[in-house]
């Protein structure tokens, strides 16, 4: 994206998938812009193949956004309303009126009266259905009467920096302070316009949601909705990639010529593989994955059976090592696996506004989905190459622990809080999350905080992946880069049993006491609060590292704290490592 010889801005592929995707607002050098939907993209970058995610999301493949040359990612100026930078002028105008592209590319948006540079208005409106539009300036200055076509100007009295000293004035004489312009109670009765600036040629949709005023840089204006998968065997084998490349041809020939057509395709493109291998791989690919937990179950099985010949791979995207555990750790863990080579494929589905999405829900309301294409169905994605440490919990020990009387009541409380939270958001629950999930989630956070001090990565660069379910009990802590072939290797070095025990000891010691105690240790899950003894001082990490928005955390389930000694899963290990007596 660039002006002639003056860059409008730069975005990395991973930024487009996570923060500045279609529908978001990007602050550029001379303007702020909204990134357009994928059907407006002329060029695409590298093709990414992942059969499991493609099957789950109903597409043929994925493409990395192309960010190498000017004009790769199309944008439109937004907000449309701009303010003249001249204090004497202060004109508030719509940049679309008498728009001159050549002048815009050379100078940016300029005032139609004094021709001085103009900057985008900081006030916008959004709604829960994902729509976004300009602030209703005429409605605001005329207190609801918006039929006046007078010129608007905005100025500040300069007494303070509050909105109360910012005024908007119409040439008809009407004027009003901007005090209360960000409070939705002042917009009762005003409906959303149904506008999508990232689809400039689309008509406004009908929307009955209330208008929510906001500022263009607010964090609730854009939440990306993405899904990710770890590339695992056998899906990373060349046969599966070859099937994905020719999948549309296979489906068309099968529809036209039946089994004979599939045989012709096999003979032309897959003859280096046996027919049995081809049929098995094709059947697996055509069996659509309907729930996201199926993808996690496949990953869990592949990681825990990495030595099994059935999961053999070419080691291009997945390579793992495992050491035997000492006896005193077997009561808590089944295995600790160092994944020296790992690839994550992260796909952007769409976005929400106002509220963040649930990372695991299969059906969610209010998501604005991206255009998937007509001939070839695709979505934007990014490859993240890196390393990780996988820890599998001892499910027998967890079963005995969760069956304790006081744990059963607390576990039900967590499950109820999670259910209430999801129902309030309109999300469909596929997996009930109880105290077992809270235990693994909190343990992952405590390790991330300690690993960031030893691995050379910041805590925001180390991400978690929780494998929780009837047949899963494990965590994957990993890091990587979307712009490089791999990572530095510092995280895997911490995956040896000796180094990991030292990390656990430090994590336990930090979790025993919190600087916010006794307030922190007194927290209990109730209503919308799904956390127990957890706060930013002891358990919470960066939002980019956590897969659940720093919800469902409680250090009292990991280490013994006052009045909750018997609830700690690692109670005896903590006493042994930290030399405590209880």
Mean pLDDT of 279-301: 79
Sheet holding 25-27, edge to edge: 25-27, 32-35, 75-77
Cα distance between residue 406 and residue 402, in whole Å = 9
CA angle, 224 then 229 then 233, to 5°:
170
Alpha-carbon distance 328 to 285, whole Å?
42
pLDDT of residue 105: 78
pLDDT of residue 1: 36
Distances (CA, A) of 510 to 366, 456, 463: 40, 20, 20
| Whether the Cβ atoms of residue 182 and residue 214 lie closer than 8 Å to each other | yes
pLDDT tens by residue, 569-580:
999 998 888 877
CA 478 from chain centre, in angstroms, equals 16
Residue 450 backbone dihedrals phi, psi, to 5 degrees: -80, -35
pLDDT at 393: 96
pLDDT at res. 560? 92
First to last CA, the chain: 63
Kindly state whether residue 230 falls inside one of the protein's structural domains.
Answer: no
Burial letters 456-489, b for 16+ CB under 10 A, else e: ebebebbbbbbbbbeebbbbbbbbbbbeeeebee
pLDDT, tens only, 511-538 = 999 999 889 998 888 877 889 999 999 9
The answer to whether 442 touches 520, Cβ cutoff 8 Å, is no
**Helices within 426-475 (DSSP H only):** 435-454
Over range 537-566, report the average pLDDT: 89
As a whole number of angstroms, the distance between CA 81 and CA 496 comes to 57
Q: Which of 382, 25, 27, 381 is nearest to 222 (CA)?
A: 25
In a domain? residue 125: yes
pLDDT in tens, 392-407: 999 999 999 999 888 9
pLDDT at 425: 75
Q: Are 62 and 379 in contact (CB under 8 A)?
A: yes
Q: What is the mean pLDDT of the chain?
A: 85
- DSSP at 306: T
How much is the pLDDT for 190? 83
263 — pLDDT class (breaks 50, 70, 90)? confident
Q: At what angle do helices 395-402 and 405-425 cross, to 10 degrees?
A: 100
Instruction: List b or e across 510-549, with b for residues whose CB sees 16 or more CB atoms inside 10 angstroms.
Output: bbbbbebbeebbebebeeeebbbbbbeebbbbeeebbebe
Q: What is the pLDDT of residue 4?
A: 41
- pLDDT tens-digit series, residues 204-243: 999 988 899 999 988 889 999 999 888 876 655 677 777 7
Q: Which of 547, 549, 129 is nearest to 351 (CA)?
A: 129
Report how far apart, in Å, the C-alpha atoms of 118 and of each of 3, 32, 91, 435, 493 are: 16, 11, 9, 54, 53
pLDDT at 287 exceeding the cut of 60: yes
3-class secondary-structure state, position 468: strand
Q: How many domains does the chain have?
A: 1
d(C-alpha 185, C-alpha 191), whole Å:
13
User: Please, what is the Cα angle at 89 between 104 and 168, to 5 degrees?
Assistant: 100
pLDDT at residue number 168:
92
* pLDDT, mean of residues 33-50: 88
Q: Is the pLDDT of residue 6 over 60?
A: no
Establish if 131 belongs to a structural domain.
yes
Render pLDDT for 417-442 as a digit per residue (tens, 0 to 9): 888 888 877 777 778 899 999 999 99
130 occurs within a structural domain: yes
Rounded Cα–Cα distance for residues 96 and 84 (Å) = 15
What confidence tens digit (pLDDT) does each residue in 292-332 have?
Answer: 888 888 888 889 888 877 666 656 778 888 889 999 999 99
Whether residue 3 is predicted with pLDDT greater than 50 in this model: the reply is no
pTM here? Answer: 0.83
pLDDT tens, residue by residue, 129-185: 999 999 999 999 988 877 888 899 998 887 777 888 889 999 898 899 999 888 888
| Structure token digits, residue 341 | 């080579």
Mean pLDDT across 542-558: 89
Beta bridge partners of residue 289, listed in sequence order: none
Q: What is the DSSP letter of 313?
A: -
Range of the domain at 132: 13-55+67-221
| Mean pLDDT within 343-366 | 83
Phi, psi for residue 426 in degrees, rounded to 5: 80, 25
Pairing of β 123-126 and β 212-215: antiparallel
Query: What does the pLDDT read at residue 456?
Result: 72
Q: Is the dihedral of CA 169, 173, 179, 182 positive or negative?
A: negative
Count other C-beta atoms under 10 Å from residue 104's C-beta: 16
Per-residue pLDDT for 484 more than 60? no
User: Is residue 94 in some structural domain?
Assistant: yes
Is pLDDT at 360 greater than 90 in this prediction? no
Degrees, nearest 5: CA angle 424-425-427: 110
Percentages of the chain per state (helix, strand, coil), in multiples of 5: 30, 20, 45
DSSP letter for each residue of 189-221: TPBP----TTSTTSPPPP--SBPEEEETT-GGG
CA atoms within 13 A on the CB side of 575: 10
In a domain, 493, yes or no: no
* Element housing 409 (H / E): helix 405-425
Q: Encoding tokens for residue 133?
A: 């539009």
**Element containing residue 55 per DSSP (H, E):** helix 51-57
Cβ neighbors of 18 (< 8 A, separation 6 or more) are 224, 226, 346, 544
- Alpha-carbon distance of 25 to 353, in angstroms, equals 12
Do the domain assignments include residue 146?
Answer: yes
- Beta-carbon contacts of 552 under 8 Å, excluding residues fewer than 6 positions away, are 414, 418, 433, 437, 438, 441, 530, 531
Q: Does residue 76 lie within any of the structural domains?
A: yes
More confident residue, 376 or 68: 376
Distance between CA atoms of residues 83 and 112, nearest Å: 11
pLDDT, tens only, 323-348: 899 999 999 999 999 998 888 899 99
Whether a cis peptide bond, with omega within 30° of 0, leads into 236 is: no
| pLDDT digit string, tens, across residues 62-72 | 999 887 766 68
Q: pLDDT band for position 472 (50/70/90)?
A: very high
pLDDT at 36 over 90: yes
C-alpha to C-alpha distance for 283 and 280, rounded to whole angstroms: 5
pLDDT at 571: 92
Name the more confident of 370 and 295. 370
């Amino acid at each position: 994206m660039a002006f002639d010889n003056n860059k409008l801005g730069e975005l990395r592929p991973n930024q487009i998938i996570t923060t500045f995707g279609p529908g978001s607002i990007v602050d550029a050098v001379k303007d702020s812009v909204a990134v357009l939907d994928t059907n407006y993209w002329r060029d695409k970058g590298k093709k990414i193949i992942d059969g499991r995610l493609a099957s789950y999301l109903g597409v043929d493949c994925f493409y990395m956004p192309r960010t190498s040359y000017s004009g790769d990612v199309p944008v439109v100026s937004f907000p449309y309303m701009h303010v003249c930078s001249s204090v004497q002028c202060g004109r508030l105008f719509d940049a679309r009126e008498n728009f001159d592209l050549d002048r815009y590319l050379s100078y940016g948006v300029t005032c139609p009266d004094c021709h001085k540079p103009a900057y985008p208005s900081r006030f916008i409106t959004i709604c829960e259905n994902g729509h976004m539009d300009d602030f209703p300036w005429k409605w605001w200055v005329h207190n609801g009467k918006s039929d006046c076509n007078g010129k608007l100007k905005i100025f500040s009295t300069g007494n303070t920096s509050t909105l109360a000293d910012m005024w908007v004035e119409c040439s008809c004489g009407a004027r009003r302070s901007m005090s209360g312009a960000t409070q939705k109670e002042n917009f009762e009765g005003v409906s959303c316009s149904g506008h999508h600036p990232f689809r400039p040629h689309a008509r406004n949709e009908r929307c009955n949601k209330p208008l929510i005023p906001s500022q263009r840089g607010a964090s609730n204006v854009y939440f990306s909705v993405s899904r990710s998968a770890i590339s695992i065997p056998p899906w990373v084998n060349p046969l599966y990639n070859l099937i994905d490349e020719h999948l549309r041809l296979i489906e068309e020939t099968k529809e036209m010529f039946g089994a004979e057509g599939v045989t012709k395709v096999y003979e032309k493109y897959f003859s280096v593989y046996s027919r049995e291998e081809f049929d098995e791989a094709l059947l697996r690919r055509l069996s659509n994955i309907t729930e996201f937990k199926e993808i996690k179950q496949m990953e869990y099985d592949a990681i825990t059976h990495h030595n099994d010949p059935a999961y053999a791979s070419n080691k291009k995207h997945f390579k793992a090592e495992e050491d035997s555990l000492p006896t005193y750790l077997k009561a808590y863990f089944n295995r600790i696996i160092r994944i020296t080579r790992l690839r994550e494929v992260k796909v952007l589905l769409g976005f929400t506004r106002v509220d963040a999405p649930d990372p695991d829900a299969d059906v969610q309301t209010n998501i604005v989905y991206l255009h998937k294409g007509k001939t070839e169905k695709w979505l934007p994605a990014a490859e993240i190459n890196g390393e990780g440490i996988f820890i599998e919990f001892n499910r027998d020990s967890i079963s005995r622990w969760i069956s304790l009387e006081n744990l059963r009541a607390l576990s039900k409380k967590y499950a109820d809080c999670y259910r209430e939270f999801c129902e309030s958001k309109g999300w469909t629950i596929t997996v009930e999350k109880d105290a077992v999930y809270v235990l693994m989630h909190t343990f992952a956070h405590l390790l991330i905080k300690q690993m960031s001090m030893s691995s050379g990565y910041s805590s925001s660069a180390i991400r978690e992946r929780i494998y929780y379910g009837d047949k899963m009990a494990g965590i994957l802590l990993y890091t990587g880069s979307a712009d490089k072939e791999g990572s530095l290797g510092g995280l895997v070095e911490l995956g040896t049993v000796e180094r990991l025990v030292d990390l656990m000891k430090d994590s336990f010691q930090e979790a025993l006491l919190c600087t916010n105690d006794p307030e922190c240790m007194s927290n209990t899950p109730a209503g919308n609060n799904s956390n127990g003894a957890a706060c930013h001082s002891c358990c919470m990490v960066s939002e980019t590292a956590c897969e659940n928005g720093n919800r469902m955390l409680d250090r009292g389930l990991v280490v013994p704290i006052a009045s909750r000694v018997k609830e700690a899963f690692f109670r005896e290990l903590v006493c042994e490592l930290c030399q405590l007596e209880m």
